[in-house]
Amino acid sequence: MTMIRALLVSVGFLCVGVGTVGIFMPILPATPFYLLATICFTKGSTRFHRWFTRTKLYKEHFKSFAESRRMTLKAKMLILIPVSVMLLLTCLAVDVLVVRIIISVLLAIKIWYFLFIIKTIQRS
């Protein structure tokens, strides 16, 4: 295995780990890390890509999004609600107006993206 492929596989496993933590920690989203893991495994190792796409974590939390850029309403809410609450609490806790504005803009973009860009599918 070349050095770059080994690095890609290592980054892929790191992303799987961080993404899995993100399932349980509302401030850390799982989807971008699973997306990056998929890309790294695709470029780095066919074997690990095949393994990752067959895991329960991938199938439950990322498969529908990866294949069609769509998510179930439940998956959207599991991401939107906890992260929104954390951002709102952070916004209330910070006294710096610029930081509040930045957090508010990020929150608005995130909600807009989930509501209008990522399509909602029925659970299959």
Whole-number pLDDT of residue 72: 80
Please state, in angstroms and rounded to a whole number, the distance separating the CA atoms of residues 17 and 115.
27
Same-domain check for residues 59 and 112: no
Q: Do 5 and 45 meet the contact criterion of CB atoms below 8 Å apart?
A: yes
80-107 per-position pLDDT tens digit:
887 788 888 888 999 999 999 998 998 8
Whole-number pLDDT of residue 23: 76
Backbone dihedral angles phi then psi of residue 120, each to the nearest 5 degrees? -95, 135
Same-domain check for residues 64 and 101: no
Domain that holds residue 93: 71-124
2-59 per-position pLDDT tens digit:
899 999 999 999 999 988 887 777 666 777 788 889 889 999 999 999 998 898 878 8
Same-domain check for residues 38 and 4: yes
Same-domain check for residues 96 and 43: no
Provide the residue type at 122 as one letter.
Q
Predicted TM-score (pTM) above 0.75: no
> How many structural domains comprise the chain?
2
Q: What is the mean pLDDT of residues 53-78?
A: 80
Same-domain check for residues 19 and 64: yes
Q: Do 46 and 96 meet the contact criterion of CB atoms below 8 Å apart?
A: no
What is the number of helices (H) and of strands (E) in the chain?
Answer: 7, 2
Same-domain check for residues 22 and 63: yes
Same-domain check for residues 62 and 100: no
